[in-house]
Structure 1
Amino acid sequence: MSADLLAVDGLVAGYGAAPVLHAVDLRVPAGTITAVVGANGAGKTTLLRTLSGMLRPTAGRVLLDGEDLRGTPVEQLVRRGMAHVPEGRGVIGELTVEENLRLGALWRRDRTDAARALDEIYQLFEPLARRRRHLGHQLSGGERQMLALGRALVARPRLLLLDEPSLGLAPRVVAQTMALLRNLRDNAGLTVLLVEQNVRSALAVADQGVVMSLGRVVTTAPADRLRDDADLRHAYLGF
């Protein structure tokens, strides 16, 4: 397997005085999809928020390609190659599709390549090209998901943090989203850390799975092994 692009050691984080993550260790190999799964309240979203700089950890370290990210401003995280699509997608409804996408290139230094990346997103997501002048609140749920992903990809990340992409979407759109992630991994070398309540879909597309419970990592294993481990699925994943 590839060298680790993301390494997390002993991560502790939470809200106020209440820790949510307890000494989390995690490895994400470059060019792979890692699915983080577990019940509600397991700490999955808190993990992504901490990795992306939205929350400051109280202990532990986060390394991106060997570089310690502690104290790094969010805009520098983007420049170093990390993009975060939060739960709920974060599309700004009062801005047009194109304005939302341009926000993803805000911290890009290479303006020419930023324009090229925008064109590539329109090729990847044809419905967005047709609706580029529509406001975010005029889009369907599936189109908003495309827009949130597109805005992250405009920054040309090496590591994509993706939180609950299937939330509220029709099964057909979920399948398309997972197929897109697989395509980006295989053809663009994108590394994905995927938090997902739809465990079957997540493990079907992932290379490895990380099971969390009550803010701790219970186990890390190849995704197909987790799918086949009935005891683990019944204990932590609910199927």
Structure 2
Amino acid sequence: MTDVLVVDKLNAGYGAVPVLRDVDLTVPAGTITAVLGANGAGKTTLLRTITGLVRPTGGRILFSGADLRAVKVEQLVRRGIAHVPEGRGVVAELTVDENLRLGGLWRKDKADAKKATAEVYELFEPLARRRAHLGHQLSGGERQMLALGRALVARPTLLLLDEPSLGLAPKVTAQIMALLKQLRDTTGLTVLLVEQNVRGALSIADRGVVMSLGRIVMSADADQLLADDGLRHAYLGF
């Protein structure tokens, strides 16, 4: 199985404060990899460094074999990487439909961008019913659907998701997780998922990695991580 993403001895931080320390990570094509750990473990910084929002101080980031360190942030989506940050990040003053069109604004194949938007409405029925509503009129769950849908309109190869369940009701969280699994199974989408909802993330993931103090302390199949009582108690809090 080909690795879509390879992170090799990655170091990064904020100013003089180091956060990531020699992080090694591989994400195979067509899989979901869950990144787990307590607050402050470095999970969000990992995603931000992969997408160039934080500049690495050492190591490599390879996407489909190409080094991302010299690639401008705005070029990543054209290469097939979509990042949905924590906090959902929809444009509150735009309608649902306008937000989704932003996801395909850069695409030359306008017909397929329109088709991708229609597919998002099929995936997320609440958005279809509220396509003329403004972003600030949506519920938290609907905003998360919209942020995810906008990323999908870009037809990414790799989707980076940061805490998609944050602040959502359990039922909505379950729907989001089920959708990610469906997308992996039906489209071959590769997902790197940062989550504190450990059980939910591992229930759909192929593999999980556990971060602590900026390092990866464990990498294993999702079922193995769920079954490892000592690891769960030490790093995952349950």
Query: Which amino acid in the other structure matches residue 48 of structure 1?
Result: L
Query: Which amino acid in the other structure matches residue 137 of structure 2?
Result: Q
Structure 1's unaligned 5+ residue stretches are none
| Corresponding residue for residue 93 of structure 2 | 94
| Corresponding residue for residue 43 of structure 2 | 44
Correspondences of 1:156-171 after superposition (within 5 Å):
156-171=155-170
Query: Which amino acid in the other structure matches residue 185 of structure 1?
Result: R
For residues 150 and 185 of structure 2, what CA distance do their matches in structure 1 show?
20
Helix, strand or coil at the partner of 1:35: strand
| Corresponding residue for residue 84 of structure 1 | 83
Helix, strand or coil at the partner of 2:115: helix
Identity within the alignment, %: 75
Helix, strand or coil at the partner of 2:39: coil
Deviation at 1:70? 1.1
Q: Are 1:9 and 2:8 counterparts?
A: yes
Superposed CA deviations along residues 172-208 of structure 1, whole A, max 9, x for unmatched, are 0011110000000000100000000101111111000
Query: Which amino acid in the other structure matches residue 145 of structure 2?
Result: M
For residues 221 and 90 of structure 2, what CA distance do their matches in structure 1 show?
33
Deviation at 1:24? 0.6
Superposed CA deviations along residues 123-175 of structure 1, whole A, max 9, x for unmatched, are 11111111111100000111101100000000000100000010000000011
For residues 14 and 82 of structure 1, what CA distance do their matches in structure 2 show?
22
Contact 1:12 1:24 in 2 (8 A): yes
Deviation at 1:16? 1.1
For residues 120 and 179 of structure 1, what CA distance do their matches in structure 2 show?
16
Query: Which amino acid in the other structure matches residue 210 of structure 2?
Result: V
For residues 64 and 109 of structure 1, what CA distance do their matches in structure 2 show?
22
Structure 2's unaligned 5+ residue stretches are none
| Corresponding residue for residue 74 of structure 2 | 75
| Corresponding residue for residue 23 of structure 2 | 24
Q: Which runs of 4+ in 1 moved over 3 A?
A: none
Please report the RMSD computed on the Cα atoms of aligned residues, expressed in angstroms: 0.8
Helix, strand or coil at the partner of 1:58: strand
| Corresponding residue for residue 53 of structure 1 | 52
For residues 176 and 215 of structure 2, what CA distance do their matches in structure 1 show?
28
| Corresponding residue for residue 119 of structure 1 | 118
Aligned residues: 238
Q: Are 1:238 and 2:237 counterparts?
A: yes
| Corresponding residue for residue 206 of structure 1 | 205
Query: Which amino acid in the other structure matches residue 157 of structure 2?
Result: R
Contact 1:78 1:107 in 2 (8 A): no
Correspondences of 1:142-181 after superposition (within 5 Å):
142-181=141-180
Helix, strand or coil at the partner of 2:56: coil
For residues 211 and 91 of structure 1, what CA distance do their matches in structure 2 show?
29
> Scaled by the length of structure 2, what TM-score is found?
0.98
For residues 176 and 51 of structure 1, what CA distance do their matches in structure 2 show?
27
Superposed CA deviations along residues 49-80 of structure 1, whole A, max 9, x for unmatched, are 11112111111111111111112112221011
Deviation at 1:236? 0.5
Contact 1:61 1:70 in 2 (8 A): yes
Helix, strand or coil at the partner of 2:10: strand
> Scaled by the length of structure 1, what TM-score is found?
0.98
| Corresponding residue for residue 133 of structure 2 | 134
Superposed CA deviations along residues 194-229 of structure 1, whole A, max 9, x for unmatched, are 000101111111000000000000011000000000
For residues 179 and 52 of structure 2, what CA distance do their matches in structure 1 show?
26
Helix, strand or coil at the partner of 1:211: strand
